[in-house]
Amino acid sequence: MSSVDQYAVFGSPIQHSKSPRIHKLFAEQTGQALEYRAELVPAEQFTAAVKAFFAQGGRGLNCTVPLKELAWDYADKLTERAELSKAVNTLALQEDGSILGDNTDGIGLVTDLRLNHALSLKQKRILILGAGGASRGIIGPLLDQQPQLMTVANRTVEKAVVLAQEFAHKGSVSACGYDDLSGQSFDLILNATSASLSDELPPLVEGLLAEQGSCYDLAYANKATAFVRWGREQQAIKSLDGLGMLVEQAAEAFYLWRGVRPDTTQLIQLLEAERQGVG
Ligand code: NDP
């Protein structure tokens, strides 16, 4: 057992994860002694891998695709936002030995939009593309910002309908398929599909983005994603990707584990500068 506190991210695939780097830099910046590694863990090995990790002295875990629902099942206790989203991206060992499950994706996104990009969500019309695990995590925190309305559009419409029903008590949220979006326009369009990972776009009709509207792709890459490029073509005032969300959700997890808030601005600037050198 190592004397330094152990943290990790589990997922499959995992080789391109930026989380070990982000947490290492947070630890250096805040003077916290910890180690954080990435481990390839397919769904069928999840339970055994998590048990072994905590049995060997692990203090906290991040879980990414395809493990967030399994992590939700695994946790002994859940934060309110994790309970609602039915997906967990952060597990934390508690003093009594129990495991707390949280979902920091939504607050990470909202912080990036509001604080890093000065985008207010109040009374805005929001469209979310996709109804997978990421959408589950962001809908509640976005509705907390009191938008005028929210629409969730998905290829498999039934999944969007289920999500809209689950979150109906938090605000005005409806569901539809992509064809049903004709004639509507939105102030903020968030791409929470995984289409960008294969440089594809969901089937988007013309006129979806209102004047002065913004686009945000939860996915991130060294080059502009297909959806970020689409946003630019639609004259979005901002067309952003999910790098800032990634750093902000990591900062929330770090805070849950260590009780210390890292400076995210510095790190986002560093990662942006690095990818501009690459992209
Ligand atoms: P899931 O696999 O749970 O869901 C994928 C969603 O994408 C489904 O709604 C699916 O539709 C839809 N989809 C996939 N391909 C297409 C396509 N070609 N056209 C239209 N819809 C499509 O993935 P997640 O929700 O976990 O992740 C979604 C994205 O969010 C990923 O790119 C991920 O990297 C990103 N993400 C970023 C984070 C960050 O910190 N920046 C944090 C979490 C996620 P259907 O249901 O019909 O199959």
Hey, where are the domains in the chain? 5-103, 106-243
pLDDT at residue 252 is higher than 70: yes
Q: Please tell me the predicted confidence (pLDDT) of residue 80.
A: 95
108, 248 Cβ separation under 8 angstroms: yes
| CATH of the domain spanning 106-243, picked from 3.40.605.10, 3.40.50.720, 3.30.450.30, 2.60.40.10 | 3.40.50.720
Please state whether the peptide bond connecting residue 203 to the residue before it is cis, i.e. omega within 30 degrees of 0: no
| pTM of this structure | 0.96
- Is the shortest distance between the CB of 200 and ligand 1 below 6 Å? yes
DSSP annotation of 65 reads: T
Read off the pLDDT of each residue in 88-98 and give the average, rounded to a whole number.
Answer: 97
Task: Give me ligand 1 centre to Cα 11, in Å.
Answer: 15
Q: Which of 163, 193, 199 to mutate to test the pocket of ligand 1 (most atoms within 8 A of CB)?
A: 193
> What are the tens digits of pLDDT across the range 18-38?
999 999 999 999 999 999 999
Q: Please tell me the predicted confidence (pLDDT) of residue 1.
A: 60
CA 189 to chain centroid: 15
Please tell me if the domain spanning 5-103 has the same topology as the one spanning 106-243: yes
Buried b (16+ CB within 10 A) or exposed e, 105-132: bbbbbbbbbeebeebebeebbbbbbbbb
Q: Whose CA is nearest to atom 4 of ligand 1?
A: 132
Q: Please tell me the predicted confidence (pLDDT) of residue 279.
A: 46
What is the number of other CB atoms lying within 10 angstroms of the CB of residue 174? 14
Read off the pLDDT of each residue in 136-152 and give the average, rounded to a whole number.
Answer: 97
| CATH of the domain spanning 5-103, picked from 3.40.605.10, 3.40.50.10860, 3.40.50.11540, 3.30.70.20 | 3.40.50.10860
- For the CA of 131, the nearest atom of ligand 1: 9
C-alpha pair distances (Å), 244 with each of 49, 195, 278: 29, 19, 17
Q: What's the burial of 23, exposed, middle or buried (CB within 10 Å: 0-12/13-18/19+)?
A: buried
